[in-house]
């Protein structure tokens, strides 16, 4: 039994050693000064590839630390089963047949290539660390610094000249503007801004020169060459990434272009149709010409919004959580901050299709009366008869009553009306005739349909008469009313008829008639008080 246990232990140990000596498909590198010389894929003796690479690396580093190191002292000796590289009789590394199986070379050729690599790499390292090379590197670095200082001096000199010429040219321009009487305060305030832009450009170029000089300085010295590579990578890698991103984005860009062109030409077609309808070239039953342009604007907004939704997945970074979060945040801000604006926009759309007024109509909104000079989705602007431009939100118009004086003036005629009160002692037929004659004499009042009078109230001391007259010029309402009032006064005065407006009463006994002196008949005498005595 003890012999069987001993045999099992030996077999397990042999299997373990054999497992440790299995080839490594990835290879273990031999790295000197951050540079990979070659890799070991197979074990050798009791050492696996990783241990073997570590031992060879230590031996090469020991060689490099020797002052008397000479790369030409590296030699190669090929035996029947192994090739050995030595330095003055000291073994550096061995190459076996398994190593050769991982390359297209046989074992002696592979060993010779390793020897050539060692001589070139180690020779370069030794040469770069020599005093002569160190002095050369220092002189090269000094030359780079001097060249950098010279370039910075040239840049400062050039930008000083550019700044001087800019200031002189700007001052000449300001003088010309002043000679022509133009305001120059704004132009003078722009000069410091332009000067600041020139200074920023100068500092940017200087910083760029310094940044480009640093990789050159670091690359001069072998020990700092990786830093130079890293600095260059800070510039080259982003540019490379941007270039690759642009190249990869080209298919999506073509798709976006096609979607945009299709949307654009559909919008242009809709615009053409809307323009024809607006000009009256095309008539659609139930569709008014003034609806054409607003409908086109709504369709255009909807089309471009739909286009953006379609192309959104093709935009670079659209799948990023940050991009999506910013989009949602902007949407929330827009929704919270533009509730009144959206209300006015919706009201503007509703007003467009309600057609309560058109451009140029004389309207009254609340206490505001004037002509419509502008309509958009947010507000309506009205110019009063005093040339006051009033901006009215569309939501306010939609929520209240709007009077349009123009819409029926050309067809039915706008009825202008005013009331007067006359005493009960005056015949109503006479009052009717006087009011109608005053309306007929007023410029702007239509002869057909004829003016008419309504008696609207029987008051305590007088009767209310209302004259109604037609006009087709609502824009001249104020002037027409003024002329109508004048003619009413003239006609009643000519007829020696007193107007008891608004609430005038007269004591006839001993009172002068209530009309202007030039209308009082000749021989008129103010009556005195008459006292009558009752007969008993």
Q: Do residue 121 and residue 136 come from a single domain?
A: no
How distant, in Å, are the alpha carbons of 25, 400, 404, 503 from that of 370? 91, 16, 10, 31
Span 105-157, pLDDT tens digits? 888 888 888 888 888 877 666 555 556 667 877 888 889 899 999 999 999 99
Is 369 within a domain?
yes
Dihedrals phi, psi of 184, to nearest 5 degrees: -115, 0
Clarify whether residues 151 and 172 are in a common domain: yes
The number of domains in the chain is 4
The predicted model scores a pTM of 0.50
Residue 288 maps to a domain:
no
Asked, for residue 153, whether it belongs to a domain, the answer is yes
Quick one: angle between helices 107-128 and 131-179, nearest 10?
Answer: 60
More reliable by pLDDT, 110 or 321: 110
Q: Quick one: 359 and 388 in the same domain?
A: yes
How far apart (Å, rounded) are the C-alpha atoms in residues 328 and 343? 21
Q: Are residues 390 and 418 in the same domain?
A: no
- Start-to-end CA span in the chain (Å): 178
* 191-221 pLDDT tens trace: 778 888 889 999 999 999 998 888 888 887 7
Q: Do residues 36 and 108 both lie within one domain?
A: yes
Find the CATH number of the domain harbouring 459. Answer: 3.30.70.100
CATH code of the domain in which 364 resides = 2.30.30.60
- Provide the 3-class DSSP secondary structure of residue 318: coil
- Inside any domain, residue 326: no
Nearest CA to 366 out of 341, 408, 396 is that of 396
Q: Does a structural domain hold residue 513? A: no
348 lies in some domain? yes
Phi-psi sector, 152: left (phi>0), alpha (psi -120 to 50), beta: alpha
Residue 410 CA to residue 431 CA, distance in Å, equals 29
79 and 164 in a single domain? The answer is no
Residues 21 and 105 both lie in one domain: yes
**Of 72, 95, 128, which marks where a domain is finished?**
128
- 382 lies in the same domain as 428: no
Tell whether 472 and 381 lie within a shared domain: no
Instruction: Indicate whether 388 and 442 sit together in one domain.
Output: no
- Name the H helices within 280-338: 292-311, 321-337
Q: Is 80 within the bounds of a domain?
A: yes
Return the higher-pLDDT residue of 180 and 362: 362
Domain assignment present for residue 358? The answer is: yes
Query: Which burial class, exposed, middle or buried, applies to 157 when counting CB atoms under 10 A from its CB (0-12, 13-18, 19+)?
Result: exposed
500 pLDDT above the threshold of 60: yes
pLDDT score, position 516: 72
Q: What is the dihedral of CA 271, 277, 283, 288, to 10 degrees?
A: 110
Give residue-wise pLDDT tens across range 464-481.
999 999 999 998 999 999
Query: In whole angstroms, what is the distance from residue 56 CA to residue 114 CA?
Result: 12
**Residue 389 CB-density burial (10 A; 0-12 exposed, 13-18 middle, 19+ buried):** exposed
What is the model's pLDDT at position 178?
66
- pLDDT tier at 21 (50, 70, 90 boundaries)? very low
For residue 440, the number of C-alpha atoms closer than 13 Å in the C-beta half-sphere is: 12
Whether residue 106 is found in the same domain as residue 187? no
- Between CA 424 and CA 497 the distance in angstroms is 12
DSSP state string for 25-44: SS-EEEEETTEEEEEE-S-B
- Per the structure, the complete domain to which residue 136 belongs is given by 132-220
C-alpha pair distances (Å), 456 with each of 435, 436, 466: 14, 16, 7
Q: Domain check: are 385 and 470 in the same one?
A: no
């Amino acid at each position: 039994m003890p012999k069987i246990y001993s045999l099992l232990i030996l077999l397990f140990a042999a299997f373990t050693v054999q497992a440790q000596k299995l080839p490594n498909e990835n290879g273990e590198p031999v790295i000197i000064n951050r540079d990979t010389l070659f890799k070991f894929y197979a074990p050798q003796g009791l050492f696996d590839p990783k241990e073997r690479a570590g031992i060879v690396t230590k031996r090469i580093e020991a060689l490099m630390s020797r002052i008397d190191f000479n790369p030409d002292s590296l030699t190669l000796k090929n035996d029947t089963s192994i090739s050995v590289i030595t330095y003055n009789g000291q073994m550096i590394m061995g190459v076996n047949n398994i190593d050769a199986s991982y390359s297209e070379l046989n074992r002696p050729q592979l060993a010779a290539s390793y020897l050539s690599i060692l001589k070139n790499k180690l020779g370069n390292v030794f040469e770069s660390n020599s005093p002569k090379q160190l002095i050369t590197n220092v002189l090269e670095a000094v030359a780079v610094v001097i060249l950098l200082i010279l370039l910075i001096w040239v840049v400062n000199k050039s930008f000083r000249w550019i700044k001087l010429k800019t200031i002189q040219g700007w001052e000449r321009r300001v003088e010309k503007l002043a000679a022509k009487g133009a305001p120059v305060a704004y132009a003078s305030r722009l000069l410091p801004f332009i000067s600041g832009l020139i200074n920023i450009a100068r500092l940017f170029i200087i910083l760029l020169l310094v940044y480009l000089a640093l990789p050159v300085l670091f690359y001069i010295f072998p020990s700092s060459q990786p830093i130079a590579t890293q600095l260059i990578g800070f510039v080259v890698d982003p540019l490379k990434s941007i270039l690759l991103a642009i190249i990869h984005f080209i298919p999506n860009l073509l798709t976006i272009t096609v979607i945009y062109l299709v949307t654009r030409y559909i919008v242009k077609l809709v615009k053409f149709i809307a323009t024809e309808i607006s000009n009256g070239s095309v008539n659609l039953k139930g569709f008014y010409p003034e609806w054409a342009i607003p409908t086109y604007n709504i369709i255009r907004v909807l089309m471009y919004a739909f286009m953006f939704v379609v192309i959104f997945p093709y935009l670079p970074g659209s799948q990023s959580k940050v991009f999506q979060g910013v989009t949602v945040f902007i949407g929330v801000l827009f929704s919270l901050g533009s509730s009144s604006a959206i209300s006015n926009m919706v009201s503007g759309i509703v007003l467009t299709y309600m057609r309560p007024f058109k451009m140029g109509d004389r309207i009254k909104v609340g206490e505001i009366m004037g002509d419509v000079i502008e309509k958009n989705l947010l507000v309506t602007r009205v110019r009063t008869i005093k040339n006051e431009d009033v901006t009215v939100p569309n939501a306010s118009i939609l929520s209240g009553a709007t009077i349009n004086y123009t819409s029926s003036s050309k067809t039915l005629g706008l009825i202008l009306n005013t009331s007067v009160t006359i005493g009960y002692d005056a015949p109503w037929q006479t009052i009717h005739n006087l009011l109608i004659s005053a309306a007929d004499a007023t410029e702007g009042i239509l002869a057909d349909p004829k003016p008419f009078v309504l008696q609207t109230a029987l008051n305590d001391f007088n009767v209310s008469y209302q004259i109604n007259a037609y006009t087709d010029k609502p824009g001249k309402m104020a002037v027409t009313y003024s002329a109508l009032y004048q003619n009413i006064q003239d006609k009643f005065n000519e007829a020696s008829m007193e107007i008891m407006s608004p609430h005038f009463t007269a004591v006839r006994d001993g009172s002068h008639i209530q009309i202007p002196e030039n209308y009082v008949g000749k021989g008129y005498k103010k009556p005195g008080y008459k006292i009558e005595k009752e007969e008993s």
